[in-house]
């Protein structure tokens, strides 16, 4: 055996035992005639002691060990004289009797420590070294435990785990596909699935009434902190269910994960918020509910008093930052600069302080009497010591989104976005469609298989933009961790949906005829949900990005810098696939 024990399991009760450990050299410390080696593996770290008085040649050999050498050590467990209370193994050490170098190591390009000196690009290039670091390893362990708990929970609810194909047909709706050329079918292409949506619906038609899969999905879209070109979904579908059935079951799953993985007991039902309210009061379809700071529309209070910025606005809205009236002019200017950033796009910001005596002092005092400012205070439900921040604009939706960014920034500055506090809600009643300026047509807000709310179906013929969907997203701390919908199971209604989306009957049949035909053979009512596994893990790990909970992620340009992918194909491969690379014009 290479080892009898791991580097994380020995305790004082093991004193006197002869053991063999194997792992990586974390560091070597020489103190007089003694050499101390910290030996590390996945399970922990154990101190090894080499004493020149016991074995001079062995100690000399230990003196030549370098960082990340892979070694095997045999010795006796002893109580440490100088204990380390920060280590589970800190009460013991191994008095070395034999040493074998299993593999030497070059000096690593960055320190394999909890706090590394390696930058993101360097650590991604040597990701296999980065994975030796405790924080990254713990994220993968958390990911493993989460998948085990998901399987345990869903198995207990009667779900079957079924794999669906990775090579499917391309679909024009939604994000861009990653396409795969077919050598055996020249000029034709597979696509990597953006989700197993139609396939899991077909499983419902086939009688598999509770399906799940922890599945890789692929989307060729611009990246950000919570997106990767390939990601993992906890994908689920159920038959003979309504929206409340699905929400209840998967809210239960979320509570199960919180309890088992974070030790957090969530006993209250999650908030359910209509999409229209989320946009009106928080400017986002994924509001962070760890703090309040709800929007208040101020058109009736502030319009028509000679301040042209407000008088010409389509929307005026404010938030009340409790206890922030002490903000200095410098801090106010920082907030103004923040909302004027190009990615936010506000032209400016108005503020008002509620003084200790209840008097209101604002940045636009010359336009407003104290009586009007008192009306403002009342509308904002502000108290002495509060700070009111106001934005306006000619586009209601855009201005609310700007106010949303300001709200989140104030929440951050005031310490209200604690990563150890969790606020969960369901956003429901999404619009069925959204207008695409690029396509100049209505697009499905979720996907074209979403069922409209029964009471809105008549509007499909008269006012489709007003139709609401039986769709729902789960949001935790301002992050969408999953979402789904009740699906259309009637071929005539599905055909109507494709018609509204601009599909000709021939195009709909070409793209989705297999699904519409399947519906003709007795499709049950069904619906489902997909959770983002990467997002759940990053949320539980307290990360700002999903990248560090994925073993081998891509960078912000969609590249794997370790594998140097994507890369060009050689001419022989291109010829086999009958592909020709056309270089862009100079």
Q: Is 90 exceeded by the pLDDT of residue 508?
A: no
Which residue's structure tokens are 């396939």?
199
- Are residues 414 and 293 in contact, defined by beta-carbon separation less than 8 angstroms? no
Q: What is the token pair recorded at 531? A: 């959770």
Which residues on neighbouring strands pair with residue 239, listed in sequence order?
526
Supply the DSSP symbol for 14.
G
**Ordered DSSP codes for 287-354:** --TTS----EE-HHHHTTSS-HHHHT-SEEEEEEETT-TT--HHHHHHHHHHHTSTTT--S--EEEEE
In CATH, the architecture of 291-413 is 2-Layer Sandwich (3.30)
The whole-number pLDDT of residue 173 equals 59
**Ordered DSSP codes for 159-224:** -EE----SSB---SSSSBPPEEE-SSSTT-EEE--S--HHHHHHHHHTT--EEEEEEEEE-B----
Q: Is 80 exceeded by the pLDDT of residue 224?
A: no
State how far the Cα of 398 lies from the Cα of 281, in Å rounded to an integer: 13
pLDDT tens figures, 237-280: 999 999 999 999 999 999 999 999 999 999 999 999 999 999 99
Q: Is 70 exceeded by the pLDDT of residue 172?
A: no
The whole-number pLDDT of residue 586 equals 73
State how far the Cα of 134 lies from the Cα of 132, in Å rounded to an integer: 6
Query: What integer is the mean pLDDT of 9-31?
Result: 97
Q: Is 90 exceeded by the pLDDT of residue 503?
A: no
Q: Which segment of 159-173, 280-294, 435-449 scores lowest on mean pLDDT?
A: 435-449
Domain 12-103: what homologous superfamily?
Answer: Nucleic acid-binding proteins (2.40.50.140)
Angle at 431 between CA 464 and CA 177, to 5 degrees: 95
pLDDT tens figures, 42-66: 999 999 999 999 999 999 999 999 9
**Ordered DSSP codes for 510-537:** HHHHHHHHHHTTTPPPEEEEEEEHHHHH
pLDDT tens figures, 72-113: 999 999 999 999 999 999 999 999 999 999 999 999 999 999
pLDDT tens figures, 343-375: 999 999 999 999 999 999 999 999 999 999 999
Pick the CATH number of 138-272+424-549 from 3.30.420.40, 3.40.50.620, 3.40.50.300, 3.30.930.10: 3.30.930.10
Report the chain's mean pLDDT, rounded to a whole number.
94
Q: Rounded to two decimals, what is the model's pTM?
A: 0.91
Question: Domain extents for the chain?
Answer: 12-103, 138-272+424-549, 291-413
State how far the Cα of 440 lies from the Cα of 428, in Å rounded to an integer: 26
The whole-number pLDDT of residue 6 equals 98
């Amino acid at each position: 055996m290479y080892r009898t024990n791991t580097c994380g399991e020995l305790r004082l009760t093991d004193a006197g035992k002869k053991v063999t450990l194997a792992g990586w050299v974390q560091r070597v410390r020489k103190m007089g005639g003694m050499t101390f080696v910290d030996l590390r593996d996945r399970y922990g770290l154990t101190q090894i002691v080499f004493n020149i008085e016991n074995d001079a040649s062995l100690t000399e050999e230990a003196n030549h060990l370098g960082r990340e050498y892979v070694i095997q050590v045999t010795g006796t467990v002893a109580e440490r004289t100088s204990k380390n209370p920060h280590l589970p193994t800190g009460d013991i050490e191994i008095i070395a009797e034999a040493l074998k170098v299993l593999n030497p190591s070059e000096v690593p390009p960055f320190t394999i420590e909890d706090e590394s000196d390696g930058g993101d690009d360097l650590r991604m290039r040597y990701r296999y070294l980065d994975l030796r670091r405790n924080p990254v390893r713990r994220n993968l362990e958390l990911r493993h435990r989460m998948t085990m708990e998901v399987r345990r929970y869903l198995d207990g609810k009667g779900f079957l785990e079924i794999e669906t194909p990775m090579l499917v047909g391309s679909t024009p709706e939604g994000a861009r596909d990653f396409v795969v050329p077919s050598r055996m079918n020249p000029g034709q292409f597979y696509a990597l699935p953006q989700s197993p949506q139609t396939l899991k619906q077909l499983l419902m038609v086939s009688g598999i009434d509770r399906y799940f899969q922890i599945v890789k999905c692929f989307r060729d879209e611009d990246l950000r902190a919570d997106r990767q070109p390939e990601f993992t979904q906890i994908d689920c579908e159920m038959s003979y269910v309504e929206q409340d059935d699905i929400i209840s079951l998967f809210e239960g799953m979320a509570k199960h994960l919180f309890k088992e993985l974070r030790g957090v007991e969530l006993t209250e039902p999650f908030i359910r918020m209509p999409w229209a309210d989320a946009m009106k009061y928080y400017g986002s379809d994924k509001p962070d509910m760890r703090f309040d700071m709800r929007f208040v529309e101020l058109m009736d209070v502030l319009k028509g008093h000679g301040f042209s910025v407000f008088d010409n606005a389509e929307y005026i809205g404010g938030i009340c930052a409790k206890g922030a009236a002490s903000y200095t002019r410098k801090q106010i200017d920082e907030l103004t600069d923040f909302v004027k950033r190009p990615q936010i796009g506000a032209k400016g910001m108005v503020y008002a302080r509620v003084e200790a005596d209840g008097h209101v002092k604002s940045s636009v005092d010359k336009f407003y009497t104290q009586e009007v400012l008192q009306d403002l205070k009342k509308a904002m439900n502000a108290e002495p010591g509060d700070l009111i921040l106001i934005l306006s604009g000619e586009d209601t939706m855009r201005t609310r989104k700007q106010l949303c960014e300001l709200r989140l920034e104030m929440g951050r500055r005031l310490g209200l976005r604690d990563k150890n506090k969790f606020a969960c809600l369901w956003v429901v009643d999404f619009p069925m469609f959204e207008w695409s300026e690029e396509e100049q047509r209505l697009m499905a807000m979720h996907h074209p298989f979403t069922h409209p709310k029964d009471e809105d179906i008549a509007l499909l013929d008269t006012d489709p933009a007003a139709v609401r969907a039986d769709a729902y997203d789960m949001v935790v701390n301002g992050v969408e961790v999953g979402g789904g919908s009740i699906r259309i199971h009637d071929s005539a209604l599905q055909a109507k949906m494709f018609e509204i989306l601009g599909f000709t009957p021939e195009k709909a049949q070409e793209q989705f005829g297999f699904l519409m035909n399947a519906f003709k053979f007795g499709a049950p009512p069904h619906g489902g949900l997909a959770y983002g596994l990467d997002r759940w893990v990053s949320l539980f790990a307290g990360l700002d990005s999903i990248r560090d909970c994925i073993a081998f992620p891509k960078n912000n340009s969609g590249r794997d810098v370790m594998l140097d992918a994507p890369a060009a194909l050689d001419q022989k491969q291109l010829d086999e696939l009958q592909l020709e690379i056309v270089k862009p014009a100079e």
